[in-house]
Amino acid sequence: MMSAWALVMLIPATLKAQDTQKEAIDTTSVRRHHLQEVEVQRKLNRAMLLKQPFAVDAIDAGEYAAQNVNFNRLLDQAPGLRVRESGGFGSETAVSIHGISGRGIKFFLDGIPMDYMGGAFFINNFPVNVIDRVDIYKGVVPIALGGDALGGAINIVSRTEVEPYLNLSYALGSFGTHRASVSGRAQTKNGFVLQGNFFYNQSKNNYEVWGPGVEIPDEFGRPIEGFRAKRFNDDYTSYLGKVELGWTQRNWADKLLFGVNVSGLERGIQHGRTMAYVYGRARYEERGIMPTLQYSKANMWHGKLDVDVFGMYSNVDATTTDTSSNRFNWAGEALPSAVQGELSSIYSRKSIYHFYDRIHLWRAYSTLRLNEQSRLRLAWNGQWLGRRGKDDLNEAEWTIPLREPQQLNKNYIGLSYERDHGSFTHIVSAKGFYYDAESFAYSYQGNAQKQLIPLRENGLDWGMGYAGKYTVNESWMLKASAERSIRIPEGTELFGDGTTLLNAPGLKPEKSYNANLSSHWDWPLGATQKLQLVTALFFRDTRDLIWLGEADHLGTARYENLSRIQAKGFEINANYNWGSLLQLAVNYTLQDVRNRQRENSLAPYNARMKNMPVHLANAYLRLKSTGGWLPAERASFYLSTHYVHEYALFWPALGSPDQKNMIPTQFVQDMGISYRVSNPLTVALDCQNILDRQVYDNFMLQKPGRFLSVKLQYHINPK
């Protein structure tokens, strides 16, 4: 039997042969027509999503498919959202929505939690051209995204073409960066489908850094003025292959797919949680394999019931190697050291630490249509993580609590009722959370006898939520949502990451009261122009916030609970479209995050949160060719700008004003142009941080300067 991939390659040849017949088919116009259909469907899906009662934004990734745009950069344009990176390409990334940051923001891939998929699955690795849309929920999250998202959720929606296609892309950029991807789909007449994607990322990340933390002394022990260094142990490589096969559009299943994901990454560890602690030989590598099973069927039980089931088993093996006999400075010079190993500073010993994660994840989701106006939805999500570790050298104290078997069991169940009254739409939900965690604590206090202490935490809690929408008229819509939600600590927060994140046994779940209120205007301005304006207020009151703080080991950190944190603010987002020629978007967010714990607190009552920006703004402009000397839709140009006002690295209420460490104002511009040379081939040029600004993030960790890249994309769609 002919393979499905062979079928993909034969279809264009068949179409070419048909051109010789009397009634020839213009394949160029057919392809253009198909692309227009996909574009229209994408816009319809986005418009339907924005009409949900939830506080939700959507990014149409199709607009950026040809560009070499980093996925983090894409998210950073959304109002109320801030992407924070610890360095260059492949570095640790944290996302905050309305002041709630870190792992309180959950990531999903087609509705499946990404928490346990391994490092190669994280958002900054995904090429934009394999994504259809990005959904951003702020505050209340629908139960369909089964999980304990606290401050919001980001769902990456993969390409949804049902026709055969093959997409190839390759990008070359500054700092030794290479990105390649292959994705495709083929289907036979009996519904058998083969689809998959593969991507590969590599970067040296050898960009220049300077300023605080990047210092070397002269012969008199004073910092050398004007010193600049190139990062030298920050290279990064990752790959991910995903293949699915099965059946679609059959009487007994809309979708039955068996899949397997294979992933891996390797990177240098350049520094600790701040840039003051430089590492020259420490390395981290990870390998994973993940078989999956997915089944879905709509319109069961007299057309009233939809069912979607997903299961996976993940096997992730990781190794941290820290065997250097030297310290290093930012000049890359090895320095004599009496302490062996680089990680954990004064507690360092050489180590080759391995950890092995075995993960089970299962998800079931169903919708029951009670009548034309009412729906009942039920979701269940279970996750089990078992970790065991070993240290080949058995010398480093920091690995002692990580060598013991640890586990985390999480279960979530959600039930919602939706009622559509025409102008009014209401969604009421209830959520239940259960967890059981086993980990180990190890005392480092003074010269006292050190002891390994087993800890077990478990609990059951409930949350409630409401989301409502009122359509005033065709141009005006109001939304309101509120919830009490729970977030259970994740494996990385409890068990560490095997490098600069130490374990934090005994972390408590977060509890939060969230509320959103927004107004949406949509005004047509003539036949081809349209203006959209969204204004929103938000409020978050979080108990036991899980926050990444400084640990007792220099250069490392561990998660901790902050008793009570309150966030409030507003955002405004304006979008203007002039047909397909011009798209202009501007947004601004004010987020005021403060400590609201009066007693036994790390900071004064009502002190503004440390390491948290207050003012955020973005602007985006895109121009497309519409005909004339440049054919319609063939050329595209974009310009974007990102602004973050200066904010304090530590609690701003503490210390004298002249001694405060401030993260300076960030004002960065990006631009790019793409041109479709022919129907299959597109070429794009991009420049990020055009003015080569010095850009900081997190604990004043410096990000890359000017980044130039070129991308080639070849897309075959034989319809």
pLDDT tens figures, 288-313: 999 999 999 999 998 899 999 999 99
Residue 38 has a pLDDT of 54
Residue 14 has a pLDDT of 37
- Mean pLDDT comparison of 135-144, 168-177, 186-195, highest-scoring range: 168-177
Residue 136 has a pLDDT of 92
Residue 490 has pLDDT above 60, yes or no: yes
Residue 400 has pLDDT above 90, yes or no: no
Residue 37 has a pLDDT of 54
- Containing domain of residue 696, as a range? 4-716
Residue 173 has a pLDDT of 95
Residue 190 has a pLDDT of 86
Residue 26 has a pLDDT of 41
Residue 367 has pLDDT above 90, yes or no: yes
Report DSSP letters for 521-539, one per residue. EEEEETTTEEEEEEEEEEE
Predicted confidence band of residue 43 (pLDDT cuts 50, 70, 90): low
Sorted by sequence, the CB contacts under 8 Å of residue 314 that are 6+ apart come out as: 116, 117, 118, 288, 289, 290, 357, 358, 359, 360, 361
Sorted by sequence, the CB contacts under 8 Å of residue 292 that are 6+ apart come out as: 244, 257, 258, 259, 260, 261, 310, 311, 312
Predicted confidence band of residue 395 (pLDDT cuts 50, 70, 90): confident
Residue type, 177: T
Four-CA torsion 253, 254, 259, 261, nearest 10 degrees? -150
Cα angle 115, 116, 122; round to 5 = 60
pTM of the model: 0.87
Average pLDDT, the chain: 85
Beta bridge partners of residue 637, listed in sequence order: 623, 673
Residue 375 has pLDDT above 90, yes or no: yes
Residue 41 has a pLDDT of 58
Predicted confidence band of residue 139 (pLDDT cuts 50, 70, 90): confident
In percent, the amount of the chain with pLDDT more than 70 equals: 89
Residue 99 has pLDDT above 70, yes or no: yes
Residue 40 has a pLDDT of 54
Predicted confidence band of residue 47 (pLDDT cuts 50, 70, 90): confident
Q: What is the pLDDT of residues 237-273, one digit of tens each?
A: 999 999 999 999 899 999 999 999 999 999 999 988 7
Predicted confidence band of residue 719 (pLDDT cuts 50, 70, 90): low
Report the length, in residues, of the chain: 719
Predicted confidence band of residue 8 (pLDDT cuts 50, 70, 90): very low
Q: What is the pLDDT of residues 538-586, one digit of tens each?
A: 999 999 888 877 655 556 778 888 888 999 999 999 999 998 899 999 9
Residue 691 has pLDDT above 60, yes or no: yes
Q: What is the CATH number of the domain that holds 535?
A: 2.40.170.20
Q: What is the pLDDT of residues 515-551, one digit of tens each?
A: 999 999 999 888 889 999 999 999 999 998 888 776 5
Residue 18 has pLDDT above 50, yes or no: no
Predicted confidence band of residue 622 (pLDDT cuts 50, 70, 90): very high
CA-to-CA separations, 54 to 141, 485, 519, in angstroms, rounded? 7, 15, 12
Residue 174 has pLDDT above 70, yes or no: yes
Please give the average per-residue pLDDT across 684-712, as a whole number. Answer: 91
Name the residue with higher pLDDT: 190 or 149. Answer: 190
Quote the number of domains for the chain. 1
Residue 24 has pLDDT above 80, yes or no: no
Query: What whole-number distance in Å separates Cα of residue 74 and Cα of residue 674?
Result: 16
Alpha helices in 304-384, H assignment, sequence order: none
Residue 646 has a pLDDT of 92
Name the residue with higher pLDDT: 684 or 67. Answer: 684
Residue 185 has pLDDT above 70, yes or no: yes
Residue 45 has pLDDT above 80, yes or no: no
Residue 472 has pLDDT above 90, yes or no: yes
Q: What is the pLDDT of residues 333-360, one digit of tens each?
A: 998 777 788 886 555 688 999 999 999 9
Residue 4 has pLDDT above 50, yes or no: no
Query: What whole-number distance in Å separates Cα of residue 469 and Cα of residue 636?
Result: 36
